[in-house]
Amino acid sequence: MRIGQSQAKINVTNVGGRLFERYIYFRDGFRAASIDVEARKREYETLSKQRELPIQLYSVRASQRANPPELVAMFAYPWKRMSENASWRALAAIEAFFAWTEHIFIHLAILQGRLTTGEEVATIAEAEWKAKFKCAIDIEDKVAKRYLDELVILRRQLRNFVAHGVFGKDGEAFHFHSGAGAVPVILDHTLAKPQFSLTPELAFHDDEALATIEKFIAYLWSGQPEPARIYIQESSLPLILPKASDGTYAAAMASVDDMREFIDYQTAEVDRAANMDW
């Protein structure tokens, strides 16, 4: 049987809390790994001064001949490898952030009465991330528009880095050999059609990217959307489209207290329904 998407009698699953926990897991993993990297760097600098390490130590092959293995392991490359691993966690966190927002923007739009039918939800679910943002957040707000622009750039940088062969975080695809040596050639996906450039305008830094994300999250849940955060992040209740069209969600979004009261009521309804199934 084919369900009529134009009808409002559809529930939309809510896993916003779980998706956010995944983001937090990778974000905290990056932070912890970054602290370890900095500690290892400081250890390297301190011990290198104390031991007056020979220049050969900078060459792994030479140091293996001239120094004990444990000394090589400590100084030759470990913190660089740790830094790479930390960066992987940052990439995973950014990916998790975009997956989370792809989900919750739809739910925010439903709670605000901007999506009221299955057909509308299906259409926006298939749309680009930018369209979901605009559906959930009023970009007439200058702060919202600024975050949209910053996050779109970050998304292009990261997603294209991951999706298009992982040439390099700066978009490096090739090296052009000239009299000055090998020059990185940038594969620029920010254009309508990918083009090559010698200007590394696509670079992004893990710390800065995650700082932007954290600021956006704080902005997102401040003020009016706070009742929506409680529903999406603190409950696992689905979004019930008839309640978007009949004004129920609009009433619950009036305040935090109204939303908590509505969640308590809806949870009790779900429990009663579950008991009847038994």
pLDDT digits (tens, 9 = 90+) for 29-55: 999 998 888 887 777 767 666 655 444
Reference 229, options 100, 131, 61; nearest CA is 100
| Chain position carrying tokens 């259409």 | 123
Cα angle: 140, vertex 144, 150; to 5 degrees: 125
* pLDDT tens sequence across 198-254: 334 345 588 889 999 999 999 999 877 889 999 999 998 999 999 998 999 999 999
Which span out of 57-61, 131-135, 185-189 was modeled with the highest average pLDDT? 131-135
- Please state whether the predicted TM-score (pTM) of the whole model is above 0.85: no
3-state secondary structure of 172: strand
Has residue 22 got a pLDDT over 80?
yes
Per residue in 64-80, is it b (16+ CB within 10 Å) or e — as a string? eeebeeebbebbbeebe
Look over the chain and give the mean of its residue pLDDT values, rounded to a whole number: 77
The pLDDT of residue 122: 93
CB-based contacts of 204, cutoff 8 Å, min separation 6: 154, 157, 158, 169
Cα–Cα dist 181/183, whole Å: 6
Classify strands 181-188 and 195-197 as parallel, antiparallel or unpaired: antiparallel
